[in-house]
Structure 1
Amino acid sequence: MVTYRGHFILIALTILFPLTCIISYTMAVLLGHVNAWFPYISDTGTRPPESCVFGFLLGIYALICAKAIHLRYRQVSIYYTDSNRNILLITNKVGLFIGWSAALGIYLVANFQETNVLAVHLIGAFLAFVIGCVYMWVQTVISYRTSLLPGHSHNYTRLRLFLTVLNTLGIIVFLVFATIASSKKPKDDQHWGPGSDGFTEHVVSTLLEWVVAFIATGYFLTFAKEFHKFELQEAKLNFLESGSNFELGGKSTEETPPVTINGIENY
């Protein structure tokens, strides 16, 4: 049976996102598809061939995010299932829905480029950044309410609150400067350069987008100590007709009766 600690999921997240950004940014700049002066993250994955790499890696990142969000939900749900703390358990379920919505947004951003399907791309960005920030608030509140969880740390809880507030302020300022910059942007905004009208506002907004994205990724890493306190095991495979239970990679957990087909016994 394959067994691994939960924090490995978080390590994969914190490695994959920077790797995605570095590869797509480097390709986009070297191919002359974006200006090296802080393009939007999405701009580095808009044109082929970097769009293929960007979509592939960011799609995997979104799926791992969804997995981490579900593990956090199960961690709280299982530990407090018999505690009669209904508000906490309901908040935990709401957090799961919000978190998966944010993960879906990341997946939409990865697969619907702004130059192809802008409306869907913007919806994905809203889910990823704004709803993702809401998820951070929900988890921060839950953290203050789950001090008995194995691995819980008051210092990490305070750090989550700090990162959540910082992320919120970053998104607000980002939206303000992005709105100002968009009103002044040239037609080819992917090649915005120094001296262009609205370029300063553009750089501030793009820089904040990168900062906010990395803050959100770093937020997941604050759960590493708690995730280290539980392990994951591959689920059993149950054959409903024969009633036998199989562990992946192992043998049957019960003696399997023979199945007779056309008078021939099959084992």
Structure 2
Amino acid sequence: MAQRFPVEILPILGAVFMFIGLATTYGIAAGLKHTDAFAPYISNTGDKSPENGIFTIVMSGTTFLLVAIMLIRFKQVWDGTYHTGIKKIIIQIVNCVALPSGLISGIGTLLVGSYRMSENNALHNDGVVIGLLFGFIYMVLHTAIGPFVRPRLKLRWLVLGIRIILLILIVVASGIFLGCKEYDYYVLLKISAITEWFLYALIQSFFFIFVVEFRKMNLIFHFEFQENIRDDFERVWSDDKEENSLSIKLLPNC
């Protein structure tokens, strides 16, 4: 029995899940007057009960989806570069550095969702910095190797240009967000909060572009069960011009 899951759905799910989740926590927090209704910090929308539980779920769920995207992208680059020799080695080194950077950024996001500002502000802020810093490293590295990975997109240079623009905007937004946050002035704090929402929208936009590169790629699960036989897992990656498939097979092993 085989089940196919179109991988291109993952970036869409990540963006939709985070948007709906944060909109929910904002609505609850603003409705209960737990935070300022006008441009609160994202973290302030999940600082008090009952919205804090939803906020943790949103951050954890978003992290799970982003990590899934990172792992699939790692496998895609590992098997999908059309270069050989030293160029292939460089691409794979970059790929291997990018994955742990992305995973560390995920840990930062989990810290943001797990530790509320009112309880442990220092650890919460550390999570923000870790998530932004290592997430940015991941995005820079995959921007660099993106044009050299199959599927070889006709608009790959346009995709590269869009990613570079997003990275520039992320740097500017991060500077405004973190810089204005240091000053205890209402206007600057509101500018910082608005920029934070814009910043996370930019980050989601970067990962959303993977929809284009994940086209015609399926995560395929094969399950075969036999009685009294030990089961073994085998991961198979097939790559052709029409479709890339990541298969997980549950095979009998005598």
TM-score, normalised with respect to structure 2: 0.84
Q: 1:112 aligns with which of 102, 111, 115?
A: 115
Match of 2:182, as an amino acid? T
Deviation of 1:172 after TM superposition, in Å, equals 1.2
Verify the 8 A CA contact 1:236 1:245 in the aligned structure 2: no
Alpha-carbon deviations, 1:106-147, whole Å to 9, x = none? 11111111111222211211122222122211111111443x
Secondary structure in 2 matching 1:116: helix
Q: CA deviation at 1:64?
A: 0.8
Tell me whether 1:125 sits opposite 2:128 in the alignment: yes
- Tell me which residue corresponds to 2:94: 91
Q: Which has the larger radius of gyration?
A: 1
**Alpha carbons of structure 1 residues 246 and 119: separation in structure 2 relative to 1, 3 Å:** closer
- RMSD, aligned CA: 2.5
Paired with 1:253 and 1:114, the residues of 2 have a C-alpha distance of: 48
Structure 2 contact 223–250 (Cα < 8 Å) conserved: no
Match of 2:176 among 166, 173, 176: 173
Contact 2:223 2:251 in 1 (8 A): no
**CA separation in 2, counterparts of 1:82 and 1:242?**
42
More off after superposition, 214-223 vs 228-237? 228-237
Q: Tell me which residue corresponds to 2:167.
A: 164
Which blocks of at least 5 consecutive residues in structure 1 are unaligned? Answer: 185-197, 258-267
Using the TM superposition, name which of 81-90 and 164-173 deviates more: 81-90
Alignment of 1:164-243 (within 5 A): 164-180=167-183, 184=184, 198-234=185-221, 242-243=229-230
Instruction: Decide whether the 8 Å contact of 1:3 with 1:231 is kept in 2.
Output: yes
Q: Deviations over 1:131-179 (max 9, x none)?
A: 2122211111111443x43446221121111101110111012221111
Q: Distance in 2 between matches of 1:200 and 1:24?
A: 23
How many residue pairs are counted as aligned between the two chains? 235
Look up the equivalent residue of 2:159 and give its one-letter code: Y
Matched AA of 1:30: G
Between Structure 1 and Structure 2, which shows a larger proportion of strand residues?
2
- Between the aligned residues of both structures, percent identity stands at 22
What amino acid does structure 2 have at the position aligned with 1:87?
I
State the Cα distance separating 1:242 from its structure 2 match.
Answer: 4.2
Aligned equivalents of 2:44 and 2:145: distance in 1? 35
Matching residue's letter, 1:204: I
1:48 matches 2:49? yes
Distance, in Å, in 1 between the alignment partners of 2:222 and 2:100 is: 23
- What amino acid maps onto 2:215 in structure 1? H
Residue segments in structure 2 that go unaligned for 5+ positions in a row: 235-248
Q: TM-score, with normalisation over the residues of structure 1?
A: 0.80
Distance 1:163 1:63, change over 3 A: same
